[in-house]
Amino acid sequence: MTTKTPSQVQPAADTMLEKIAYSSVAGIPTVEPHDQDRLGYCVWLWLNHRHDPLETAVRNAGARLLISEEEALRRIREHLQASGVEL
């Protein structure tokens, strides 16, 4: 067993795609936190590649949303636009 303190974690810059993707889904209510993580990951993949529409990325996440998919997409789009992402 070690007696050293763990290293400090540096928070990501607000302009990084990972931060933008995960913060865009932070306010979306899901059944479990892992659903929100999967949704954030799929939005991050979409931001990196943009092969399919954003609707496909949200659907492919398989997140169990507590709001409609249309409402979730609206919230994600609003946050992405506010972060300076062109849709």
Task: Give me the DSSP letters along 25-53.
Answer: STTS-BSSHHHHHHHHHHHHHHHHH--S-
pLDDT surpasses 90 at 58: yes
Local structure of residue 83 (DSSP, 8 states): T
**Does pTM surpass 0.75?**
yes
pLDDT at residue 34 is higher than 90: yes
Decide: 65 and 75 in contact? Cβ < 8 Å: no
- Note the pLDDT of residue 6: 80
Q: Which residue has the higher pLDDT, 15 or 73?
A: 73
Residue 37 scores a pLDDT above 70: yes
